[in-house]
Structure 1
Amino acid sequence: MMGASREALEAARERLDALADNTRVDPSALASDLAAVTALLDRETALRRVLTDPAQPGQGKADLVGRLLGDQVGGEAVDLVSGMVRSRWSASRDLVDAVEQLADTADMIAADRGGSLDSVEDELFRFGRIVATSPQLRAALSGKDTAAAAVAARTELARSLLRGRADAVTERLVVRLVERPRGRSLDAGIEALSTLAAARRGRSVAVVTSAVPLGDRQRQRLGDALSRIYGREIQLNLDVDPGVLGGITVRIGDEVIHGTIADRLDEVNRRMAG
């Protein structure tokens, strides 16, 4: 997102956090309502253009949201979206992305309240690794057929894989992603959800790949070192890949720290080829 959209999203996050402080607000219901708004805005291109048109008065756009959504979703969702359309957005698509992110965040809040956020974070990571290593499963969950029957089949497959094996929040998040990927790959979508879960806990996610499982002391030392480097708590998601031949690779967002024998061999080969 560009500057204006980033500021608008941050303001919306603050309003969502304020709502979350009220124990009378059901974050799961709010997540469901915001997901429904996401689907509407994603489908109705003309509507989202009107709602992000800087030439239109903010109050007028908020009133339109109230008329359209007042009987469809709860008051908290209407208030959040009304506040969002008063803000300036760099692109109309950014509004949809922001509402979707708030929906996912509301579900994270529900998990946090229920004491299961750690489990949700871990389950999302593990499910992502399963998908990444199973092309057939990824294809089954990521089909491009948008016919209702095909979408229903994919979402039911996701539910059957997670039902009874994962937290209800994890199931809802993954099913929504499978149902409405909105141009994202399944891998990228799950990774974004994992990052959002970590951010809810004030942490960043480091995906650590090693040739053999790391011991408790190694994990503690690595986590402490990364926290010192980045100035915040770092959640380690561990993956084992014998192909790295030793050492570790750490990926935090778009930054990759290489420290494997395979990486060094690749560097030697590149220099020899040059």
Structure 2
Amino acid sequence: MAGASSESLAAALADLETTLPTASLSLARELFGIVGVLDGSAGLRRALTDPSREGAEKSALVRSLLEGKASAEAVAITAKLAASRWADARDISDALETLASTVAIAVAEQGAGAAGGLSGLERVQNELFAFKSAVEGNHELQAALTEPQATPDAKRALALRIVPGVSEEGSLLIGQAAAAPRGHRPTALVEKFAALAAARQKRWIAEVAVARELTNAQAGRLQTGLNALYGRDLKINTTVDPQIMGGVRVTVGDEVLDASTVARLSELRRQLAAQAR
């Protein structure tokens, strides 16, 4: 996906972030179901990605088709996608699949206590990799999961027998990859889902470079300050680099805080300096 489609997907993912803290697996299931509707109608995909049609017109088409058949949240997400620009008709289905899987992964991230956060993301990623490893090592399973005569439900049931005991989130993602691989090998789609989980894990990991090694007290203050700044319990990886400007550089996901963002780091630096005296 490139050009206009890539930009539209990035915008949709940014919008989705406001929904994710309260999202449920039912939303992910609905979005996957709508992907199936789009995949089943080339004419609909063309209509929703026609550059000559106004975005409002395409959104109205989505609402006329889906209202009363899906939740207001699922309809709104799909309608907003339809209003965006797409370089290829298939791209809107691919984007909606990405949104659906992101919702499922975020539900794992929401888990209570030790079951959520980074641990929840690692759990679902490990489940996906367990499925991928089991299938790639067994030619009979590969053949069964790609058998043209087998029904989607049969393929889903087989996939879930391969990795018994997985979480609800893992079950949804693995079952979706087996039942509706959309022209890909199920293991390739599972690998895509795992990559999305890995990307969300970066939001929970702070890569911290400091000019000199921190004391235990300083490390504790840093942990407290960063947790408060980002609103979650981060895992902190610290390295020492004497060349660091301002004494500390923090990278969380795609965000870098360094000497150029003095306002956000000033309190952290004051805390560290106070402990050093």
TM-score (norm 2): 0.69
Cross-structure match for 2:243? none
Cα offset for 1:143? 1.7
Stretch deviating more after TM superposition (118-127 or 32-41):
118-127
Cross-structure match for 1:123? 127
Q: How does 1:60-99 map to 2 (within 5 A)?
A: 60-99=57-96
Cα offset for 1:162? 3.1
User: CA separation in 2, counterparts of 1:144 and 1:131?
Assistant: 17
Q: Tell me the amino acid that sits aligned with residue 202 of structure 1.
A: K
Q: Within the alignment, does 1:137 sit opposite 2:141 as a pair?
A: yes
Cα offset for 1:186? 2.1
User: CA separation in 2, counterparts of 1:152 and 1:29?
Assistant: 18
Cα offset for 1:46? 0.2
CA-to-partner distance for each residue in 1:49-70, whole Å, 9 max, x for gaps?
A: 0011011111111111111111
Q: Tell me the amino acid that sits aligned with residue 175 of structure 1.
A: G
Gaps spanning 5+ residues in structure 1: where? Answer: 204-222, 226-230, 234-274
Q: How does 1:9-48 map to 2 (within 5 A)?
A: 9-21=9-21, 23=22, 26-48=23-45
Gaps spanning 5+ residues in structure 2: where? Answer: 204-236, 240-250, 254-277
Q: How does 1:250-261 map to 2 (within 5 A)?
A: none
Which secondary structure state, in structure 1, belongs to the residue aligned with residue 57 of structure 2?
A: helix
User: CA separation in 2, counterparts of 1:185 and 1:60?
Assistant: 35
User: CA separation in 1, counterparts of 2:93 and 2:105?
Assistant: 19
Count, aligned residues: 202
User: CA separation in 2, counterparts of 1:129 and 1:123?
Assistant: 10
User: CA separation in 1, counterparts of 2:139 and 2:238?
Assistant: 35
Percent identity of paired positions between Structure 1 and Structure 2: 36
User: CA separation in 1, counterparts of 2:67 and 2:202?
Assistant: 33
User: CA separation in 1, counterparts of 2:186 and 2:193?
Assistant: 11
Which secondary structure state, in structure 2, belongs to the residue aligned with residue 35 of structure 1?
A: helix
2:12/2:81 contact within 8 Å kept: yes
Cross-structure match for 1:150? 151
User: CA separation in 2, counterparts of 1:102 and 1:193?
Assistant: 11
Superposed CA RMSD: 1.9
Greater radius of gyration (CA): 2
Cα offset for 1:232? 7.4
